Structure 1
Amino acid sequence: MPDVGEGLTEAEILKWYVQPGDTVTDGQVVCEVETAKAAVELPIPFDGVVHALLFEEGTTVDVGQVIISVQTEGGAAAEAPVQEAAPAVAAEEPAAPEARQPVLVGYGVSTASTKRRPRKAPAGAATAAQNGTAPAAPAAAPAPAPAAVPAQPTGERPLAKPPVRKLAKDLGIDLAAVVPTGDGGVVTREDVHAAAAAAITPQAAPAPAPVAAQAPAPAEVPVREAREARETRIPVKGVRKVTAQAMVGSAFTAPHVTEFITFDVTRTMKLVQELKADPDLAGLRINPLLLIAKAVLVAIRRNPDVNASWDEAAQEIVLKHYVNLGIAAATPRGLIVPNIKDADAKTLGELSTALSELVATARDGKTSPADMQNGTITITNVGVFGVDTGTPILNPGESAILAVGAIKLQPWVHKGKVKPRHVTTLALSFDHRLIDGELGSRFLADIAAVLEHPRRLITWS
């Protein structure tokens, strides 16, 4: 597992695109993983045949662990962890050095050997080692393995994958008492479910009991199963976990102030229709969000101090002379905020193209970690859900975020008469450590002024 995103320590395997026995070529994508920032496809850096997939889909793997082994021409494939260890050897015999394991995406080779839990030697082998005699030679052909391995010896930690351990914990099953059927004595999900079923199924007594009646089975397991049937528990991980941590950190680090403004955007809505009919803009996605983004960039030019960040370590305010405009996007994996690099330097057509690509990439779950770094200010469009407004939380490292409410036809006083007009509400949250009320109010008022009279997109630019 390579470091696919700025020092992240782990990633979850979302999907394997190959299976053991498949032929792979250099650069072929073999799996998709999700880091704390984005979903990333991993290519294989050599040609060969897939020998083993060492982790299942849905498993979180630490960076540096081998996740796939490939048989290359003239080379040996990496050993899968489910393979049985070789027969025990004498204690004095030196172990053969392990082959260096290749890793993915051009990160070189791993020099650290894989650590495995030491296996206990058979009692006969231990006695022979103490007496200085060799154990008896094994039979010519080993007997077939039984269908089920006996339960784990007392004192030894049962072998099971983390999801299986969690399942056993939720069902109240002691793994040490479960009979494992997986390769190498590994407890599987089926083993745990079987143990749970046995716990709630009355066992037939071999002979009539002398007591009047047999005590009923404990009710904890059925009660727990009934509760779980009415609840669904979703592990917090990946993008959602990091977003939650970032929002908590932002909310309790930066002192938030939120201001609101409601105004008439009828002229902006008319301009949207005119731009859609402009042949010079044919093929571009023209919508109110595009003009709102442009209005934010014009307002930043008039109030550059809002485009800044607070450096706590250096106790400095960092003014940014560029605008990386973030657009909050809801995805199946959680909320992400990719940003348009140097948005202030783009024309209206270039900004439209960048917005379309950003949204399409986010919906496909292909946003890269680099696309979400170094944002300077963010827009979140809650109006697409019919919501009038909200109090958004700052994206960490930024000083302001603008929430755009729904644009609705409402009765509005226009030129002394009440008429139906397109009206919306903007909400601006900002970091009060570096943006005071005057600056924040001027910035929000400028955005509204541009959208109320969109000709200012030209006169104020």
Structure 2
Amino acid sequence: MSESQFLLPDVGEGLTEAEIVAWKVAPGEPVAVNQVIVEIETAKSLVELPSPFEGTVGELLVSEGQTVEVGTPIFTVTSGGEAPAAPVREPEPAEEVAADAAATVSHEEEPKAGAVLVGYGSAGHGTTRRRRLTHPGTGSLPVSFTGSIAQPTVPAPQAAPQPAPTPSRAPAAAAASAARPAGPVVAKPPIRKLAKDLGVDLTAVTPTGPIGDVTRDDVLREATQVTVFRNLQTPEWPDDREDRIPVKGVRKAIANAMTSSAFTAPHVSLFVDVDATRTMEFVKRLKNSADFGGVKVSPLLIMAKAIIWAVRRNPTVNSSWTDEEIIVRHYVNLGIAAATPRGLIVPNIKEAQGMTLLELAKSLEQLTLTARDGKTPPADMNGGTITITNIGVFGMDTGTPILNPGEVGIVALGTIKQKPWVVDGEVRPRYVTTLGASFDHRVVDGDVASRFLADVASIIEEPALLLD
């Protein structure tokens, strides 16, 4: 038997401390290599730390909510001897588990239609099976699984009485209830975490997955509906007269960065109304294109490409100020301001200037999903050169954005909606948006700022210019 200490690692460039957010294990539990042990929050993001050891968790040396420095021991692992098999925290896809289980269970024990994910859902028959799988080239690897394939039969729990839905949602609630299958909610752990972060009750979600499971899109759709519903209600006043929220982690980093930017860089802002009708038509064609099948396409994609195009024509806006010199960058690490459950972050797409439209669309989609899950690594938020903030998704026409520290330009994309617009002397309904931009006046003069924003606007008005 031997005991190993796990030291808090340096998970980002220049970060010296982190807060322990949530332990994923308890003392005495078995742990496998690369199993997620703890969630920590740095000044930049939420990070999951895997275990480099296999064995049994000894002692949790740091409490949840405590902030510790890099290099501090946070838990111990005892190894040696026959350790109990650990439950698989990240289940395999249901079809793989079912196929794998078929090798050790009889035909009668195979999961029927509506089988649930491993470790979740209704109980099956028989006893829990644990076995050792052999992977080519790796030897034997202890793996265990539990769930509907082999669990003792238990009586179904009595359903708790539910409050009647409010009159405004009664028809929708009844329809959703009829569409949902009876029984426990089937959802993978990452989906459950996403639902928790977004405040979504999984029992209220209508699943659309292939085995009756709740998918990411189901959760996001319900989150949107819940937000709209909440916005239509007048909330009750809380019993507490005030809340006190500690300023730490991401929120403290945001506050320091925005204060430094606002009081260090002299901001100058410009605004322009743009006819985005052809951009909307172009987005529609891309959505119907076989090349973009399954890839999310939105006006933000055209906006991103427009900024890259305009930077090439006005490189000064892609600079940084150091007091001694101005560094003009001839590459674009395009920052996308993202609102997450833990606050505003600005991850960036590295070397965006060399990407095709399809590659840029895939990068935008991946960046957005990672940010929503709170899994953006610190490296993705370093080295940005210019930023987009899409305030249009919140229904805002325009705004005065504050520069991301270290950059000299940021562009805000407002909501796109139909308005009366004069075309060839006639008033016609057109899709119109407002672009707002801020610049560091130490680096970017008014004429450069104006030309740059006009170039961005010209692409939004006519995306075909991207072909030059």
Please give the range of the TM-score, normalised by the shorter of the 2 chains.
0.5 to 0.7
Match for 1:346: what amino acid?
Answer: M
Which of 343, 360, 363 is the equivalent residue of 1:334?
343
Q: 2:60 aligned with 1:49, yes or no?
A: no
Give CA-to-partner distance per residue, 1:129-186, whole Å, 9 cap, x none. Answer: xxxxxxxxxxxxxxxxxxxxxxxxxxxxxxxxxxxxxxxxxxxxxxxxxxxxxxxxxx
Q: 2:388 aligned with 1:379, yes or no?
A: yes
Q: 2:313 aligned with 1:306, yes or no?
A: no
Match for 1:58: what amino acid?
Answer: G
Greater than 6 Å deviation, 4+ residue runs:
none
Separation (CA, whole Å) in 2 of partners of 1:64 and 1:29: 18
Separation (CA, whole Å) in 1 of partners of 2:49 and 2:279: 44
Q: Equivalences for 1:42-441 in 2 at 5 Å? A: 42-73=49-80, 229-312=240-323, 315-441=324-450
1:447 alignment counterpart: 456
2:47 alignment counterpart: 40
Separation (CA, whole Å) in 2 of partners of 1:322 and 1:420: 38
Give CA-to-partner distance per residue, 1:414-434, whole Å, 9 cap, x none. Answer: 111011111110011000011
Separation (CA, whole Å) in 2 of partners of 1:451 and 1:46: 53
Separation (CA, whole Å) in 2 of partners of 1:320 and 1:61: 36
Match for 1:434: what amino acid?
Answer: V
Separation (CA, whole Å) in 2 of partners of 1:252 and 1:36: 21
* SS of alignment partner, residue 455 of structure 1: helix
**Structure 1 residue 280: deviation in Å?**
2.2
What is the count of residue pairs matched by the alignment? 306
Separation (CA, whole Å) in 1 of partners of 2:14 and 2:453: 37
**Structure 1 residue 255: deviation in Å?**
0.5
Give CA-to-partner distance per residue, 1:296-334, whole Å, 9 cap, x none. Answer: 11111111121111012xx10001011000000001111
**Structure 1 residue 59: deviation in Å?**
1.7
**Structure 1 residue 454: deviation in Å?**
1.5
**Structure 1 residue 252: deviation in Å?**
0.4
* SS of alignment partner, residue 326 of structure 2: strand
Q: Equivalences for 1:3-18 in 2 at 5 Å? A: 3-18=10-25
Match for 1:38: what amino acid?
Answer: S
**Structure 1 residue 65: deviation in Å?**
1.8
Unaligned runs of 5+ in 2: 1-7, 82-237
**Structure 1 residue 228: deviation in Å?**
8.3
Match for 2:449: what amino acid?
Answer: G
Separation (CA, whole Å) in 2 of partners of 1:418 and 1:287: 27
Separation (CA, whole Å) in 1 of partners of 2:283 and 2:352: 20
* SS of alignment partner, residue 409 of structure 1: strand
Match for 2:429: what amino acid?
Answer: P
Separation (CA, whole Å) in 1 of partners of 2:299 and 2:452: 19
Separation (CA, whole Å) in 2 of partners of 1:270 and 1:231: 48
In the superposition, the TM-score normalised over structure 1's length comes to 0.65
1:31 alignment counterpart: 38
* SS of alignment partner, residue 73 of structure 2: coil
* SS of alignment partner, residue 426 of structure 1: strand
Give CA-to-partner distance per residue, 1:164-217, whole Å, 9 cap, x none. Answer: xxxxxxxxxxxxxxxxxxxxxxxxxxxxxxxxxxxxxxxxxxxxxxxxxxxxxx
Separation (CA, whole Å) in 1 of partners of 2:339 and 2:290: 32
2:122 alignment counterpart: none
Give CA-to-partner distance per residue, 1:102-144, whole Å, 9 cap, x none. Answer: xxxxxxxxxxxxxxxxxxxxxxxxxxxxxxxxxxxxxxxxxxx
Match for 1:408: what amino acid?
Answer: K
Match for 1:399: what amino acid?
Answer: V
**Structure 1 residue 10: deviation in Å?**
1.5
Separation (CA, whole Å) in 1 of partners of 2:348 and 2:13: 17
**Structure 1 residue 8: deviation in Å?**
1.7
2:166 alignment counterpart: none
Separation (CA, whole Å) in 2 of partners of 1:396 and 1:442: 23
Separation (CA, whole Å) in 2 of partners of 1:8 and 1:299: 34
Separation (CA, whole Å) in 1 of partners of 2:419 and 2:14: 50
**Structure 1 residue 245: deviation in Å?**
0.2
**Structure 1 residue 440: deviation in Å?**
0.3
Unaligned runs of 5+ in 1: 75-226
* SS of alignment partner, residue 283 of structure 2: helix
Larger Rg, first or second structure (1 or 2) = 1
Match for 1:7: what amino acid?
Answer: G
* SS of alignment partner, residue 67 of structure 1: strand
* SS of alignment partner, residue 246 of structure 2: coil
Separation (CA, whole Å) in 2 of partners of 1:356 and 1:318: 30
Separation (CA, whole Å) in 2 of partners of 1:69 and 1:271: 56
**Structure 1 residue 240: deviation in Å?**
1.0
**Structure 1 residue 73: deviation in Å?**
2.5
**Structure 1 residue 26: deviation in Å?**
2.7
Separation (CA, whole Å) in 2 of partners of 1:445 and 1:46: 56
Give CA-to-partner distance per residue, 1:60-104, whole Å, 9 cap, x none. Answer: 222222111222338xxxxxxxxxxxxxxxxxxxxxxxxxxxxxx
